[in-house]
Amino acid sequence: MKESIICLDPGHGGVEYGVKAYGLSEKDVCLDMTRRIAAYLNRHGKVRGLLTRAGDTALDWRERIRQAEDIEADLLLSIHTNGSENPMEAGFETYISGCAGLDLRSLQARLHNHVAAFLRPFGIWDRGKKYDSESYRGWIPLLEEAPCPAIQLELFYLTHAGEKSWYRHSRFRDALAFTIAEGAALLLQRENRLPVR
Ligand SMILES: [Zn+2]
For the stretch 86-109, pLDDT in tens is: 999 999 999 999 999 999 999 999
- Please report the domains of the chain, with CATH numbers, ordered by start residue: 4-191 (3.40.630.40)
Least Cα distance to 194 among 131, 149, 150 occurs for 149
Per-residue pLDDT band for 192 (boundaries 50, 70, 90) equals low
Q: How far apart are the CA of 167 and the centre of ligand 1, in A?
A: 15
* Band (44; pLDDT cuts 50, 70, 90): confident
pLDDT at 197 over 50: no
Q: What percent of the chain has a predicted confidence (pLDDT) above 70?
A: 95
Instruction: Tell me how far apart the alpha carbons of residues 8 and 74 are, in angstroms, rounded to a whole number.
Output: 11
Distance 1 CA to ligand 1 centre (A): 35
CA 25, distance to chain mean position in Å, is 16
Q: What is the pLDDT of residue 45?
A: 72
What's the gap in Å between 11 CA and the centre of ligand 1? 5
How close is the Cα of 54 to the center of ligand 1, in Å? 17
For residue 1, is pLDDT > 80? no
What pLDDT is attached to residue 196? 43
Q: In this predicted structure, what is the pLDDT of residue 46?
A: 83
Residues 36/177, Cβ–Cβ less than 8 Å: yes
Measured CA to CA, the distance from residue 163 to residue 166 in angstroms comes to: 6
Q: In terms of DSSP bridges, do strands 126-131 and 150-157 run parallel, antiparallel, or are they unpaired?
A: unpaired
- Give mean pLDDT, residues 79-91: 97
The model carries a pTM of 0.95
- The pLDDT value given to residue 194: 52
Rounded Cα distance between 157 and 80, Å, is 10
Residue 136 or residue 189, greater confidence: 136
State the distance from the centre of ligand 1 to the C-alpha of 105, rounded, in angstroms: 21
